């Protein structure tokens, strides 16, 4: 069901989304507006108060694999404008109870650290670091927020701005995946989850091979909210060794 259990949450936007208001009235933006208006996930995002329809991709991945848990510590790479961070915050920050431990009446604290090249409008409880995640300085700021403890989940929905040159775009996308994975290798706890967006069928085979050597389970997912005409899919890597 589309995010029904996420309704009634604190994060609400006006019915006119930021991205929408930023678009100019060119022909392509009219097409984009029409597609958004007619899209069931975009409509649902407005109802549920999510900043992006992409939020439902993470909802679906998590409903299948259950990696976002109350008290969890989550890094969201490529977070702007904040749809995934909203979902992560709802599921890991205090307020919920852990179904695996029903006696734990009070949820543990939880942590969400969001990172993006672009500024992100604030979200309650979410720490935001602005900058290029490939930079050591930016990663250092993220690590500082982890405060000496490892992360439970590293998410990467990072995507380069597309040049239209397929090979170049794929190479830049792979670089972002590899950067996120290298971070996860260092700061994700044993048993933790790594999720990253890839383009083309399953991404670079050697990247997948590397993931399979680092995680006990690796799944390739195409959530319903991911547009059929998009080459994107997600690698969900469970149980870091
Ligand atoms: C598809 S959007 C993410 C949408 C987000 N998951 C949401 O639901 O709101 C991809 C984001 O990746 C960011 N990005 C691309 N390259 C990056 C980099 N090197 N470091 C940090 N963020 C990056 C872009 O600025 C963009 O905001």
Identify whether the C-beta of residue 208 lies closer than 8 Å to the C-beta of residue 178: no
For residue 9, tell me if it sits in a domain. no
Q: Are residues 45 and 72 in the same domain?
A: no
d(C-alpha 162, C-alpha 141), whole Å:
27
For ligand 1, whether the C-beta of 57 sits within 6 Å is: no
5 secondary structure, DSSP code:
G
Query: What pLDDT is attached to residue 37?
Result: 63
Q: Are residues 173 and 198 in the same domain?
A: yes
Residues of the chain with pLDDT under 50: 1-23, 96-100, 102-107
Query: What pLDDT is attached to residue 23?
Result: 43
Query: Which residue from 93, 90, 84, 76 is spatially nearest to 130, judged by alpha carbons?
Result: 76
Provide φ and ψ at 112, rounded to 5°: -125, 125
Query: Which residue from 239, 169, 164, 240 is spatially nearest to 198, judged by alpha carbons?
Result: 169
* Domain interval for residue 36: 19-49
Q: Are residues 55 and 173 in the same domain?
A: yes
Query: What pLDDT is attached to residue 43?
Result: 94
d(C-alpha 178, C-alpha 182), whole Å:
6
Query: What pLDDT is attached to residue 18?
Result: 36
Nearest C-alpha to atom 13 of ligand 1 is from which residue? Answer: 78
Query: What pLDDT is attached to residue 62?
Result: 98
User: Does residue 222 carry a catalytic annotation?
Assistant: no
């Amino acid at each position: 069901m589309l995010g029904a259990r996420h309704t009634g949450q604190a994060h609400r936007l006006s019915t006119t989304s930021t991205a929408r208001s930023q678009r100019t009235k060119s022909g392509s933006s009219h097409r984009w507006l029409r597609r958004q208006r007619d899209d069931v996930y975009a409509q649902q995002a407005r109802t549920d108060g999510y900043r992006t329809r992409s939020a439902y991709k993470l909802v679906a991945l998590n409903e299948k694999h259950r990696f976002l848990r109350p008290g969890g510590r989550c890094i969201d790479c490529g977070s702007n404008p904040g749809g995934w961070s909203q979902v992560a915050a709802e599921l890991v920050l205090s307020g919920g109870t852990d179904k695996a431990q029903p006696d734990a009446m009070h949820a543990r604290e939880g942590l969400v650290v969001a990172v993006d090249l672009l500024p992100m409008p604030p979200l309650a409880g979410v720490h935001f670091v602005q900058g290029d995640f490939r930079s050591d300085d930016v990663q250092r700021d993220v690590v500082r927020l982890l405060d000496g403890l490892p992360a439970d989940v590293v998410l990467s929905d990072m995507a380069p701005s597309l040049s239209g040159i397929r090979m170049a775009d794929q190479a830049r996308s792979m670089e972002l995946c590899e950067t996120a994975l290298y971070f996860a290798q260092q700061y994700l706890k044993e048993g933790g989850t790594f999720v990253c967006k890839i383009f083309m069928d399953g991404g670079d085979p050697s990247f997948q091979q590397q993931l399979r050597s680092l995680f006990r389970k690796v799944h390739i997912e195409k959530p319903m909210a991911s547009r059929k005409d998009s080459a994107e899919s997600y690698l969900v890597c469970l149980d870091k060794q």
